[in-house]
Structure 1
Amino acid sequence: MLPRDLGPARLNALRPRQSAPTSGWRAAAFRLSGGKWNPGPSAAEERYTDLARRIGNTRLEGPHSVIVGSMKGGVGKTTVSCLLGLCLAEHRGDRVVAVDANPDAGTLADRLVGEEFAAQVTVRDLLAHLDEVETFTDLSKYVHLTRRLQVVASDQEPESSEAFSLSDYESVVRVLSRFAQAIITDLGTGIVHSAAQGGLKHCDSLVIVGTLTQDGASRAQRTLDYLANYRDPAGGLPHRHLVKDAVVVLSGDRWSESIDAEVIRDYFRGRVRAVLELPADRHLASGGPIDLALLQPATRDAVLEISATVADGFYGRDTHGLAAHGFRSSSSHR
């Protein structure tokens, strides 16, 4: 007789099944045998499945802000923002939006939807019609769509871009957070710019981009130093927690024999949650619209790992950003 606190044993007559391979000689052998011989997925397929699961299965309790930035231009911040947004949107079931908050007529939307389309609708159009946005259908008039990623383009007139203020950024993100779960913001180089301060104020996850060069690494270091030591009017250190939990992405676009790359890696490993690298890639180097399918295999793998690592921070961590400041998803989206 079973103890009272135990129910009947659960019946499970299913034999364990090995996943079928989807590529290479393993998949060919599986098909040719009519499924009778299953060599199983390769190590690369298993890694892809694991990374995709980490990206897609990490729950969000509310809107989550990911800020991508650095003090130095030309290190790949916009590229990383685009890749992160595309990969999260591809593997997650909730909505993901990428916002260009670069004060210098940023190119995030150019890299995602093309320069011609990006100029047709910008953040200025959204700001001018905020009161009219009550549903996601209303919002879709003022954002671009590529694959499953929503994109908010920066204003391409430098005078207007400089006028994009903290209050403008907060107004835009307040609307976006009603309909999107993950909001990726490309700050450009304007860490001390008004809109950037708004982004940092509401930041939940921080990604700092540098390079495996002296100038690119030192500027990433200075960015972390600035954020760690920044004091608000009350004398507090509001960004110090972001630095400790940050992800540093080192771009491999530039390389020199005179640089000891391991010194750079070790330094950042001692300061942040994770240090990852994005290999040089001919498709990304072109500067045109980004297509994940055109990346080299090593680059695709790196993008998956970066996205999975960022997604690891979506749940189970202290929230200091959007939700803490009253930003909520609308009930109609749940």
Structure 2
Amino acid sequence: MTGESILRVRPDEPSFGWRRALLRATGGLVNPGPGAEELRRREVLHRIRRPLVRSHRIAVTSIKGGVGKTTVSTLLGLVMAEHRGDRVIALDANPDAGTLADRLTGESSVTVRELLRDLHRIDSWTEVSRYTSLAGRLQVLASEQDPAAGDAFNRQEYEQICALLDRFFNVIITDSGTGLVHSAMEGTLKLADSVIIVGAPTVDGAGRAAKTLDWMHAHGHGPLAAEAVAVLSCDRTSVEVDLPRIREHFASRCRAVIEIPHDPHLATGGRVHLDRLRPRTRDAAYELAAAMADRFVP
């Protein structure tokens, strides 16, 4: 006989909405149970919380700038850090004074350059945390803010950074620059376990995202491209653009397609807070995090 066998099973209770109100109003006598929307949310959270036994590196990239790579990295990092029990870090690997830290913490006085300088003497979580800033539970490692020094962040140094982060973090999200031939980008794709290709529902935004996939196939990253998740950032759109056709194109080439709708909070370009997003935008961010966690190795 076990404890589970002698305990009465409590019926599943709703957490919000009219179903929760009815349960409370009747003192628990009438329990309509969770609705379809609540069950869907629970399923998404269950996917996001998929356990990991080793670190997983996610590269967010595109050949085109201004399509929302940093926004996507920000949303993904915030959702994963909030709902996972392990450690998540977002790394800005943009060689041209990236803005990831600005969108997350507003703190970029200590950057990846300082971490590289002191790499040889860092051997504990406490020491690593001195070089990062916090957005909730998300650790953020800012990029070099002097554009003149950007080229110093090369492939070898990126690999050294990742080797260190692998020791202390479970999920490493890299917000990449736009230059696919840049040395640091070579290291990003070489070490990535999964990739997000960011585009937009415009002629140039969709075309450049497609060319990013073409480039990856042509340079030995075909399997990574085939398992990529395409994200369409819908800040800019037009009735003249055939969005279903764009969606269909990327669905045929990628594992999943996620659309991030226009959101006034994101459009400000300032710090991002999940609770200030519109419900559809927040749902899209959660779906993205779930899609990426689907490939985590338990």
Q: TM-score, normalised by structure 1?
A: 0.86
Residue identity matched to 1:139: V
Secondary structure in 1 matching 2:30: coil
Q: Is the 8 A contact 1:20 1:27 kept in 2?
A: yes
The alpha-carbon deviation at position 287 of structure 1 amounts to 0.6
Render the CA deviation track for 1:75-114: whole Å, top value 9, x for unaligned. Answer: 1110000111111111111111100001110001100001
Partners of 2:29 and 2:151 in 1: CA distance = 64
1:285 to 240, 249, 267: 267
- Gap change, CA 1:31 and 1:126, over 3 Å in 2: same
The alpha-carbon deviation at position 315 of structure 1 amounts to 1.9
1:30 to 23, 26, 45: 23
The alpha-carbon deviation at position 188 of structure 1 amounts to 2.4
Runs of 4+ in 1 over 4 A off after TM superposition: 8-11, 13-16
Partners of 2:36 and 2:234 in 1: CA distance = 25
Aligned to 2:279: 297
The alpha-carbon deviation at position 217 of structure 1 amounts to 0.4
Render the CA deviation track for 1:52-74: whole Å, top value 9, x for unaligned. Answer: 11010x22221111000001111
Aligned to 1:18: 11
Q: Verify: 1:108 aligned to 2:108, yes or no.
A: no
Q: Verify: 1:128 aligned to 2:117, yes or no.
A: yes
Q: Percent identity?
A: 51
Residue identity matched to 2:84: R
Partners of 2:10 and 2:32 in 1: CA distance = 12
Larger Rg, first or second structure (1 or 2): 1
Render the CA deviation track for 1:216-260: whole Å, top value 9, x for unaligned. Answer: 000000000000001xxxxxx2x1110111100111111111111
Aligned to 1:310: 292
Q: Verify: 1:167 aligned to 2:156, yes or no.
A: yes
The alpha-carbon deviation at position 15 of structure 1 amounts to 4.9
Partners of 1:200 and 1:240 in 2: CA distance = 11
Q: Verify: 1:275 aligned to 2:257, yes or no.
A: yes
Partners of 2:96 and 2:52 in 1: CA distance = 32
Aligned to 2:236: 254
Q: Verify: 1:149 aligned to 2:177, yes or no.
A: no
Q: Verify: 1:186 aligned to 2:175, yes or no.
A: yes
Aligned to 1:219: 208
Secondary structure in 2 matching 1:215: helix
Aligned to 1:324: none
Aligned to 1:39: 32
Q: Verify: 1:140 aligned to 2:129, yes or no.
A: yes
Partners of 1:220 and 1:15 in 2: CA distance = 54
- Where in structure 1 are there 5+ consecutive unaligned residues? 1-7, 231-236, 317-334
Give the aligned length: 298
The RMSD of aligned alpha carbons is 1.7
Partners of 2:12 and 2:180 in 1: CA distance = 46
